[in-house]
Structure 1
Amino acid sequence: MDEVAGAIADQVRRQILVMLKDGRLSAGEIAERFSISRPAVSRHLRVLRESGLVRAELVGRQRLYTLDAERFTELAGWLAQFLEPSGWEHRFDALETEVYRTRRERRTNSAKTGSETDSKGETA
């Protein structure tokens, strides 16, 4: 997981991964999309290859890169613990629901009696 996290820490490598999610590309096609040198792109591709996030296939004289999204599984599982609602979030959601229900009841009651209430629920 640390190797994957380290590999995606760099913005260029993240951009390469986004490119590869739509299909395989040659090293040259990837390098054309950046203003950095081809050797620099090659170094980024090597890091991604060594982390297991991309696979390289030699086709003729071209090296074609494909994404291996399975390597994200462990990292995504670890990150998920931070995305799940905590107990407090559930309580705040329930409180918000209760506040809206109470306000709706007060409006309904004031419409039946013809009286207006202020923001504190007191009759004006």
Structure 2
Amino acid sequence: MSIEVISKAIGDESRRKIIELLKDGELPASAIFDQFDYAAPTISRHLSVLKEAGIVSTRRNGVFIYYALEVKTLANLADWLSPLLPGSIPAKLNKERVVRVAKQKPENPFDKFQSEF
């Protein structure tokens, strides 16, 4: 999935909460529904958005649907973000950085004398 699709999917607070719930492993949909005060169709829609973005996957066991994080998708997001974060710039790039010093204007000896004309 593209970074744009992933970022739109995680832009909602409820979807981020679902991701946090799944960080320790897969959960049945009913366990996710229990964590929210919203109606089940609302949470189902959030889960669908996450699934369409490739952030979660599903596994059916009888009548139960289990949701789990797709680590590969989150790793792609982390790979895209890591160069943008402070302290994560590779040493090679740090060495190649060019520091530009502002050119100083040469001092004019006549600037000391202010003309009143």
- The verdict on a shared fold, with TM-score over 0.5 as the criterion, is yes
- Which structure is richer in relative contact order (CA contacts within 8 A, separation 6 or more)? 2
Q: Which structure has more helix as a fraction of its residues?
A: 1
State the alpha-carbon separation in 2 of the partners of residues 23 and 75 from structure 1. 19
Identity of aligned residues (%): 37
After TM superposition, which residue ranges in structure 1, 4 or more long, deviate above 4 angstroms? none
State the alpha-carbon separation in 1 of the partners of residues 47 and 62 from structure 2. 19
Per the alignment, in what secondary structure is the counterpart of residue 84 of structure 1?
coil
Per the alignment, in what secondary structure is the counterpart of residue 24 of structure 2?
coil
Residue 34 of structure 1 deviates from its aligned partner by: 0.3
Query: Who is 2:53 aligned against?
Result: 51
- How many residues were matched structurally? 87
Q: Where in structure 2 are the equivalents of 1:100-111 lying within 5 Å?
A: none
Per the alignment, in what secondary structure is the counterpart of residue 47 of structure 2?
helix
State the alpha-carbon separation in 2 of the partners of residues 45 and 78 from structure 1. 24
Give unmatched runs, 5+ long, in structure 1. 88-124
Please report the TM-score for the alignment, with normalisation by the length of structure 1: 0.65
What is the CA RMSD across the aligned residues, in angstroms?
A: 1.4
Pair 1:74-2:62 in alignment: no
Give unmatched runs, 5+ long, in structure 2. 95-117
Per the alignment, in what secondary structure is the counterpart of residue 44 of structure 2?
helix
Per the alignment, in what secondary structure is the counterpart of residue 13 of structure 1?
helix
